Structure 1
Amino acid sequence: MKDTYTFKKVLLPVDESIFSKRAAIFAGKFLRYFSKELSELTILHIIRPGYLTTHKKRVDLRVEFFKKTELFKKLKDEFLNEKIKPFLDTYEKILKDSGFTAKISKRVEEGEPGNRIIEILSKEDYSTVFLSRRGIGLTESLVMGSVSTKVVYNTRKQIVYLIGEKFSEEKEISNLKILIPVDGSEYSKKAVEHGVYLVKRIVKKIKEVKLLRVINLDVYYERLEQGIDPEKEAEETLLVSRKKFLDEYIPDKLIHTQILIGIPSEEIIKEIKENAYDLVILGRRGRSPLKDLIMGGVSSAVIYNCKEPTIAIINL
């Protein structure tokens, strides 16, 4: 199994919201099964610019040189110890109480959260980032500058997990239903590889893995005109994907396949909503969010129309 698809070093950005708490609980319960191969999980909190003006009204931060004074450093340390360290310690406890045993580090940075996370991911050797979701749509997130949207569309080498609303503090990692849409592209092949990696390690926690091939209606008729059977072509794609699981001795009874004909994004969303999947693994083509919105990209459509499942975005 290639390192590209594995958990090696994980970044967990957090704030004090219930959404971050959900992401931390999921990370702890899920990643405990991968603790032996994880080198480190970093709990990251990013302080937005102007944080001291909010908490220390008496300080005029418009004076740039003040930031270099001993008083500023003292106030900053006070703020970190009083406001930040306690909730980072709480997240560390959540992870450990969930059974996570790999190394945990805590890190505080300053800046605009989305941009700072992207910068860290581009410069450092994190394999995966776990992000909370706040349940807003793509158009809204583009206008508001959603952190998760920025990270998903500006990450090129990491796996991004968006933790869904279906997961709760009481829910354990068991009887998982996983959906992996496939189309034979390099992007979907990477999604399958990550799925194999996961299932092989937590096979006893899996109820079903469905490999879904949606044949675009226009492509369907084009293939027929070319004398190609599109359904047979789809079956071959599914067989290749299914074989990757079987080659790793994953029980064939867990791996199901299905072919649908229609508009891919619509059919995948319908499948997710009707069958209550816990995890959806998607390969992403690397388009910008605006281009995805205009062109009707599958990954964007699924992310912003399916809030319940956790979604893993596999980037090239």
Structure 2
Amino acid sequence: MYSFKKILLPVDESKHSKKAITFAGKFLKYFIKDISQITIFHVIRLSYLTAHEKRIDLRVEFLKESELFKKLKEQYLKEKIKPILDEYEKILRDCGITIEIIKRVDEGDPGNKIIEVLCKEDYFSVFLARRGISLTESLVMGSVSTKVVYNAKKQVVYLIGEKFSEDQVDSVSKILIPVDGSEYSKKAVEHAVYVVKGLGEKIKKIKLLRVINLDVYQERINQGIDPEKEAGENLSIAKKKFLDEYIPEKLIQTQVLIGIPSKEIIKEIKENNYDLVIIGRRGRSPLKDLVMGGVSSAIVYHCIEPTIAIINL
């Protein structure tokens, strides 16, 4: 069973980060008993020194050893970064987060540093702000969230949606879980069960959706298998996971559709105002996803309103 343990909260000075921190606080307070540590993590880009380029040697090999660099960094941390991290810690505390909060600063490329920390340290989940750009744009521009989504090997990545408002009392009440019977899908269901149990009566709707790909549908027919019956069985297995944890059956809806999975799931999300979508990811690169039309990528880059939790194996 998935459970929250160590949580990484990468941040910058933007309004998007403030929203992500607020979501994390209002969401994670229901899982406090499981969490050992939350880390607020800021990565300084060396570009912040460009304003001083006439005063110091900007060649990278000299920067970090330069006394002027050290003084500028100390001043920058004190005047610009510490107040922001203190503000984010206060937001978490005001939301009811009582466990240890670490404030951590590093230098370099934010995406690469976040991945490095996730790979080397035992974090279960990372909560990221998102800025609503397409997969193509993110590949060209080097989006931090794209780097993390495609390089996090075992973490659950939460991308905070635009729908969430900082003045919301609760963060999640309606959840969608696309199901296809794969190991990735099963892990998504396991995490969803854990989330629903933690949020308790805050949850008003759980939707389990199976979209049968048209090509797969015909293949199954040719094999003498009823694809809709098979899909129904997959949904029943997923539903039982919730019922086994005493989650009220009246909250759970199941549906089988036939079509192009990404299109049908996106349509479902946009028409039904979900707060959270929990999906498994197959582990392809962003370029392969762009070419092959990965379902999880399509959902992430076409549905910016809900928060999306991506389950990596």
TM-score calculated relative to the size of structure 2: 0.97
Give the secondary structure class of the aligned counterpart of 1:36.
Answer: helix
* TM alignment of 1:176-215, pairs within 5 A: 176-215=173-212
Amino acid at match of 2:208: L
Structure 1 residue ranges without an equivalent (≥5): none
CA distance in 2 between partners of 1:195 and 1:50 (Å): 40
Give the secondary structure class of the aligned counterpart of 1:282.
Answer: strand
How far residue 68 of structure 1 moved from its aligned partner, in angstroms, is 2.0
Partners of 1:61 and 1:67 within 8 A in 2: no
Percent identity, aligned pairs only?
A: 74
Deviations 1:166-225 (Å, cap 9, x if unpaired)?
001111226611000000000000000000001111121101110000011111122112
CA distance in 2 between partners of 1:66 and 1:123 (Å): 26
Give the secondary structure class of the aligned counterpart of 1:136.
Answer: coil
How far residue 59 of structure 1 moved from its aligned partner, in angstroms, is 2.7
Deviations 1:23-72 (Å, cap 9, x if unpaired)?
00000100011112101110010001232333575333338446324443
* 2:306 alignment partner in structure 1: 309
* 1:17 alignment partner in structure 2: 14
- Are 1:139 and 2:123 counterparts? no
CA distance in 2 between partners of 1:96 and 1:85 (Å): 16
Give the secondary structure class of the aligned counterpart of 2:33.
Answer: coil
- Are 1:255 and 2:258 counterparts? no
The count of corresponding residues between Structure 1 and Structure 2 is 313
Structure 2 residue ranges without an equivalent (≥5): none
Rate the CA distance shift 1:34–1:57 in 2: closer, same or farther, 3 A: farther
Rate the CA distance shift 1:58–1:70 in 2: closer, same or farther, 3 A: closer
Partners of 1:53 and 1:59 within 8 A in 2: no
* 2:122 alignment partner in structure 1: 125
Amino acid at match of 1:270: K
Partners of 2:8 and 2:40 within 8 A in 1: yes
Give the secondary structure class of the aligned counterpart of 2:283.
Answer: coil
CA distance in 1 between partners of 2:289 and 2:249 (Å): 35
| One of 90, 106, 121 as aligned partner of 2:87 | 90
CA distance in 1 between partners of 2:172 and 2:63 (Å): 56
CA distance in 1 between partners of 2:60 and 2:224 (Å): 73
Superposition RMSD on alpha carbons, in Å?
A: 1.4
| One of 292, 295, 298 as aligned partner of 1:295 | 292
Partners of 1:174 and 1:205 within 8 A in 2: no
* 1:230 alignment partner in structure 2: 227
CA distance in 2 between partners of 1:110 and 1:61 (Å): 15
* 2:65 alignment partner in structure 1: 68
CA distance in 1 between partners of 2:241 and 2:52 (Å): 54
Amino acid at match of 1:219: V
How far residue 129 of structure 1 moved from its aligned partner, in angstroms, is 0.2
CA distance in 2 between partners of 1:33 and 1:123 (Å): 27
* 1:269 alignment partner in structure 2: 266
How far residue 138 of structure 1 moved from its aligned partner, in angstroms, is 0.6
CA distance in 2 between partners of 1:67 and 1:227 (Å): 67
Amino acid at match of 2:93: K
CA distance in 1 between partners of 2:84 and 2:6 (Å): 22
CA distance in 2 between partners of 1:81 and 1:174 (Å): 32
